[in-house]
Amino acid sequence: MSQTSALIDTLKRQLRAQGYTYADVARWLELSEASVKRLFADKHVTLERLEIICDRLNLEFSELISAMHADEQRVQELTQAQEQRIVDDRELFLVAVCVINGYRFEEIHHQYRLSEVQCIRHLLTLEQLKLIELLPSNRIRRRVAANFRWRPGGPIQQFFQQHIATEFFQSRFDRDTEKLMVLNGLLSQAGSAEWQQIMQRLANEFHALCERESNLPLQQRFGTTSVLAVRQWQSTLFKDVSRTAMPNKRPNETSL
């Protein structure tokens, strides 16, 4: 990631932390909200505009740089061995998912059948793995980056595919809180790459929304899973009547 891109991402996190929206920034810069969204998406924010936004945030430009460097030290991905350690311990796995999603100590303890001693033991393990910092009074400071992800094809993704994916799709997706979209079309390699970039922006928006609502009481928030996937793929259902085979190379896949 370029320094400019990292700086803009840090600025967006600072805005979310103080409860500001694109509409607020648009008002400060005397632009339309659509223009502001485009500036942030393209990472094209001039120094003059950065200074205006920082001034509104009561934030020195040097403090923004420091925050960017702090963000760069956050964990973006675990090693294979670290993920395996988590997935091998069911309780540790549960606590890891909770803290990554912003649960507080008391929320984990009250929502699941884990004693305080068990919770602390697992949190100390996650601290050793650099995922969190356990502070006095059992406060939890996450050390994961905004773009943190489980390893593609790693132990936790494999666990999801083997044990959770089938259960996840056993739904009609007809409730107000559910939605399933299956899109089919023909794309070039360039088109596929562009669509994956759009999917990544959607993933970033999902994480941003979770962050904005992180201060709401837990009883007002619900576990929400979103699966975004794209691949060059043809169902074996029609393999016997297909005149052309899909390429033998490994399919392009992106998942959340």
Average confidence (pLDDT) over 93-104: 89
What DSSP letter does each residue of 76-113 carry, written as one string? ----HHHHHHHHTSHHHHHHHHHHHTT--HHHHHHHTT
Using one digit for the tens of pLDDT, what is the confidence trace for 149-166?
889 899 999 988 888 778
| Integer CA distances (angstroms), 237 to 124, 241, 242, in order | 48, 9, 10
Percentage of the chain lying above the pLDDT 70 cut: 88
Q: Two tokens at 60?
A: 């020195």
Within 8 A by CB and 6+ apart from 255, the residues are 152, 157, 227, 228, 229
The DSSP code for 176 is: T
Question: What is the band of 239 on the pLDDT scale with cuts at 50, 70, 90?
Answer: low
Interhelix angle 47-56/3-17, nearest 10 degrees: 20
* Residue 32 CA: distances (Å) to CA of 26, 37, 111, 142, 211: 6, 9, 43, 34, 24
pLDDT digits (tens, 9 = 90+) for 24-69: 999 999 999 999 988 888 888 888 999 999 999 998 888 888 877 7
Contact 105, 139 (CB under 8 A): yes
pLDDT of the residue at 2: 62
What pLDDT was estimated at residue 240?
60
